[in-house]
């Protein structure tokens, strides 16, 4: 079947597993298709997570993720190259990839007393500082960044994040943020526009003067009932078992 992350195999249905169980899903590997995959190949997909062995006293496993197979080592997630067949990956080859990952994750500098590491993700190279990921722009040579470059990128990211929020309303589930085209409302990963004033985009200063209720009305205009709390369904009462009638005396 086609899932939100691409073609996938499924074992079990909701009807078969019942209320307490869950169907199992596994993404198809590169080169596999829903039209030609065999039953044997499908069953192989569900052998993950698979333990390959140990490296320096820590278990090495291979698993299937949203974006493909990966190696799990301690708290590290190690990508497996697309050219590598994860089904045939052995412990020796896995250790090679783990060593590369450990080398890559070594601090490249420090910033305000905290380690900074460098990595490469789906969207290109990045720096990691605390819990913050800083994309490295294409104008930089990601492999040969100077300490000055790294510190500059981190400082710019910190400043950007500090100026990101105008208001935060965690209890109501939305924020008011500064965007490229002016302030906007972020509600459950969805962007809600703030109307213009006299054909002019609203400024951050004007957004600060607005009340929470005004933002909520804008959200409700696009998502009716957004702030209506749903009542929890009452637990089903168990049916009392019917009492057996005493046998009639002869």
pLDDT at residue 155, rounded to an integer: 96
**Can you tell me the distance from the alpha carbon of 199 to that of 196, in angstroms, rounded to the nearest whole number?**
5
Position 152 pLDDT exceeds 70 = yes
Give SS3 for 139: coil
Nearest Cα neighbor of 55 from 97, 89, 105 is: 97
Q: Which residues contact 54 (CB under 8 A, 6 or more apart)?
A: 60
Per-residue pLDDT for 9 more than 80? no
233 pLDDT band, cuts 50/70/90, is low
pLDDT tens per residue across span 190-225: 999 999 998 999 999 999 999 999 999 999 999 999
Write b or e for each residue in 64-88: b if 16 or more Cβ atoms lie within 10 A of its Cβ, otherwise e: beeebbbbbbeeeebbbeeeeebee
- Say which residue, 43 or 161, is predicted with more confidence: 161
With H, G, I as helix, E, B as strand and everything else as coil, classify residue 144.
Answer: helix
- pLDDT at 92 (0 to 100): 95
Mean pLDDT over 57-68 rounds to 85
Domain segments of the chain as ranges: 2-104, 109-161, 165-222
**Residue 244 in this model has a pLDDT that exceeds 70:** no
pLDDT of 139 > 60? The answer is yes
Give dist(CA 177, CA 186) in Å, integer: 7
């Amino acid at each position: 079947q086609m899932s939100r992350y691409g073609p996938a195999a499924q074992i079990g249905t909701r009807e078969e597993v019942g209320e307490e169980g869950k169907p199992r899903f596994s993404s198809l590997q590169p080169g596999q298709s829903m039209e030609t995959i065999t039953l044997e190949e499908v069953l192989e997909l569900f052998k993950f997570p698979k333990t390959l062995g140990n490296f320096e006293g820590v278990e090495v496993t291979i698993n299937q993720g949203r974006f493909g197979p990966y190696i799990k080592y301690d708290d590290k997630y190690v990508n497996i190259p697309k050219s590598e067949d994860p089904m045939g990956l052995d412990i020796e080859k896995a250790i090679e990839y783990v060593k590369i990952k450990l080398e890559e994750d070594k601090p490249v500098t420090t910033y305000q007393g905290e380690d900074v590491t460098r990595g490469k993700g789906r969207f290109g190279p990045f720096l990691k500082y605390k819990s913050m990921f800083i994309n490295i722009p294409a104008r930089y040579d990601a492999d040969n960044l100077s300490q000055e470059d790294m510190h500059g990128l981190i400082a710019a990211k910190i400043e950007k994040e500090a100026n990101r929020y105008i208001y935060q309303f965690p209890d109501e589930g939305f924020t008011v943020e500064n965007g490229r085209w002016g302030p906007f409302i972020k509600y459950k990963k969805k962007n809600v526009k703030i109307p213009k004033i006299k054909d002019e985009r609203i400024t951050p200063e004007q957004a600060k003067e607005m009340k929470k209720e005004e933002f909520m009305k804008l959200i409700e205009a696009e998502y009716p009932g957004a702030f209506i709390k749903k009542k929890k369904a009452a637990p089903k009462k168990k049916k009392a078992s019917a009492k057996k009638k005493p046998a009639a005396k002869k």
